[in-house]
Amino acid sequence: MFSDSPHEECGVFGIYAPSEDVARITFFSLYALQHRGQESAGIAVSDGKTINTHKEMGLVSQIFDERSLRHLKGHIAIGHTRYSTTGSSQVINAQPFTMHTLLGPLAVGHNGNLTNAASLRRQLMERGVGLMTSSDSEVATMLLAGLEGNTWSQRIDAFTNCVEGAYCLTVLTRDALYAVRDPWGLRPLCLGRFGDAGWVVASESCAFDTIGAEFIREIDPGEVLQIDRDGPRTIAKHPAQQQAFCLFEYIYFSRPDSYLQGQLIHEVRMRLGHELAREAPAEADIVIGVPDSALPAALGFSQASGIPYGDGLIKNRYIGRTFIQPDQRLRQQGVALKLNPLPNVLNGKRVILIDDTIVRGTTSGPIIKLLRKAGATEVHMRVSAPPIRHPCFMGVDMATQPELIAFNKTEAEICETIGADSLAYLSMDGLIRATRRDANGFCGACFSGKYPFPIHEAGKEIFELTSI
């Protein structure tokens, strides 16, 4: 409600586990993936004959209870928690999408954005396919249902040859679970083992920790994994020549206790702080971070600079869990509803404030005002990522280009706008050094404007705004 941060779109989960309460296991896994989407959630379960689904708007804890889980019986399940990036936030766009086909029941959970969704949607409608929602995920589901092939394996393989963009899919059929990752590897997806005979897939490894599953490996870019009574096996692999893993998974999206590309996210974010301290030092008395995602970078900045770390801002973690809108007076309080400063920590101090991003700049200024009101004599803003100058079309809702403060303003102008004493961003080279990976394996289009593939018609509400 008051966040100026980029928003991830979805978390996906899937499980094949005979003799287990897969709906309940999926519930707790979605709980662990709640940070990836807070608008809606759903679970679909197959008992080998039919697929039953329950999905609603809201948080996982608000949607599911003992009664709703009791009706989701079976041995295979997929779950989804959503933040909308294509298709508005309404229950009709909630996932998983389900339907009946000639090959049997089908349910699909999708994380990402199909950049050619508009043309695919038009093709479906020209064939007489009726579409109920404004989501590209429904387009993906209809494609899977209608493509040629006598098996789901054939149809999924055909699907990967006609779609473009970012996608991680969990596909539930009558007797199997499929996990599909796009050829560029834009979004994360991993495989785990659950008990003696169960297998799980999830957007992040933190979901496995919650349910006691063992992390096995990341699903490769372009890989299609089938899981059934014979266990998991790769049935197709079509990687792109150049990988393009989203850098914002390291900077912001993923939970700090998740592992990506063999690295703990918390440690990478601390290294972001190390690099930032080397590139943009400042004389100060204390280093603080904007809760929660910037705290590891703040700790890393403190370690590298020798300036003490402190908790100067306390986050109200429940303000985002209500659908009750504040009145105008409370709305004007804005950031103060979400963050409280600690005057005893800040009073009379020169403060280095670490954040992971400045998108529109609408929260940085109010935060700095809070710090000054609490007694900070100087506020030096440091950002553990490069300036965001370009929109994302691969499944991140961050802003249109005119709304991006770094697109419209220089660093000095941004500093003046937010009211900081100084401002510095981490360089792209520093960001890559912190990941300890090859720069050619990442997508940093929001920083550079260099997208990994051509971008067609795109936008969160593209299907609401057009006749296609």
Q: What pLDDT digit, counting tens, does each position of 414-441 carry?
A: 999 999 999 999 999 999 999 999 889 9
pLDDT of 172 over the 90 cut: yes
10 is catalytic: yes
Q: Please measure the distance between the N-terminal and C-terminal CA atoms of the chain and give it in whole angstroms.
A: 30
Q: What is the structure's pLDDT at 466?
A: 46
The pLDDT of residue 458 is: 56
Please tell me the predicted confidence (pLDDT) of residue 296: 98
Max CA separation in the chain (angstroms) = 72
pTM of the model: 0.90
Domain ranges of the chain: 7-244, 262-442
- Whether residue 320 is predicted with pLDDT greater than 60 in this model: the reply is no
Q: How many CA atoms lie within 13 A of 383 on its CB side?
A: 22
User: Is 153 part of any known ligand binding site?
Assistant: no
Residue 324 has pLDDT above 90, yes or no: no
Q: Which of 250, 249, 301 is nearest to 274 (CA)?
A: 301
Architecture of domain 262-442: 3-Layer(aba) Sandwich (3.40)
Round to whole Å and give the CA distance between 137 and 133.
9
Answer whether residue 153 shows pLDDT above 60: yes
Does pLDDT of 224 surpass 80? yes
- Tell me which of 10, 168, 190, 415 is the catalytic residue: 10
For the chain, give the mean pLDDT: 90
Query: Residue 254 pLDDT > 70, yes or no?
Result: yes
CB 410 within 8 A of CB 452: no
Tokens standing for residue 131:
């579409």
Tokens of 39: 């608008």
**b/e per residue, 3-24, with b = 16+ CB within 10 A?**
ebbbbbbbbbbbbbbeebbbbb
pLDDT score, position 5? 62
- Euclidean distance between CA atoms 212 and 78, whole angstroms: 17
Report long-range pairs for 254-258 (Cβ below 8 Å, ≥24 apart): 254/188, 254/204, 254/206, 255/32, 255/35, 255/204, 255/206, 256/293, 256/296, 257/206, 257/209, 258/204, 258/205, 258/206
Evaluate whether 182 touches 188 at the Cβ level (below 8 Å): no
pLDDT on residue 103: 95
Q: What percent of the chain has pLDDT over 90?
A: 76
pLDDT, average across residues 154-180: 95
pLDDT above 70 for 86: no
CA distances from 410 to 233, 380, 417 (A): 51, 17, 10
Is 168 flagged in the annotation as binding?
no
CA–CA gap between residue 223 and residue 259 (Å, rounded) = 19
What would the two tokens of residue 283 be?
Answer: 């004389």
**Residue 446 is assigned to a ligand binding site:** yes
Segment 159-171 shows an average pLDDT of 94
φ/ψ (deg, to 5) at 251: -75, -40
Name the residue type at position 16.
Y
Q: How confident is the model at residue 351 (pLDDT cuts 50, 70, 90)?
A: very high
The pLDDT of residue 468 is 43
| Over residues 93-100, mean pLDDT | 93
| Residue 169 confidence (pLDDT) above 80 | yes
| Per-residue pLDDT at 455 | 81
Does the pLDDT at position 379 exceed 70?
Answer: yes
Q: Is 203 annotated as a binding residue?
A: no
- The two domains 7-244 and 262-442 share their CATH topology (first three levels equal): no
What local confidence, expressed as pLDDT, does residue 1 receive? 39
Confidence band, pLDDT 50/70/90 cuts, at residue 7: low
Structure confidence at residue 130 (pLDDT):
84
pLDDT in tens, 191-210: 999 999 999 999 999 999 99
* pLDDT value for 462: 47
Lowest mean pLDDT among 25-29, 293-297, 460-464: 460-464
Please give the pLDDT value at position 71.
93
pLDDT of res. 338: 85
In angstroms, what CA-CA distances link 357 with 116, 251, 293, 425? Answer: 28, 9, 10, 9
Q: At what angle do helices 152-162 and 136-146 cross, to 10 degrees?
A: 130
- The model's confidence at residue 135, banded by pLDDT at 50, 70 and 90, is confident
**Per-residue pLDDT tens for 47-65?**
999 999 999 999 999 999 9
CATH topology of domain 7-244: Glutamine Phosphoribosylpyrophosphate, subunit 1, domain 1 (3.60.20)
Q: Which helix (H) or strand (E) holds 285?
A: none
For residue 240, give the nearest of 444, 452, 437 by alpha carbon: 452
206 is in an annotated binding site: no
57-75 mean pLDDT: 95
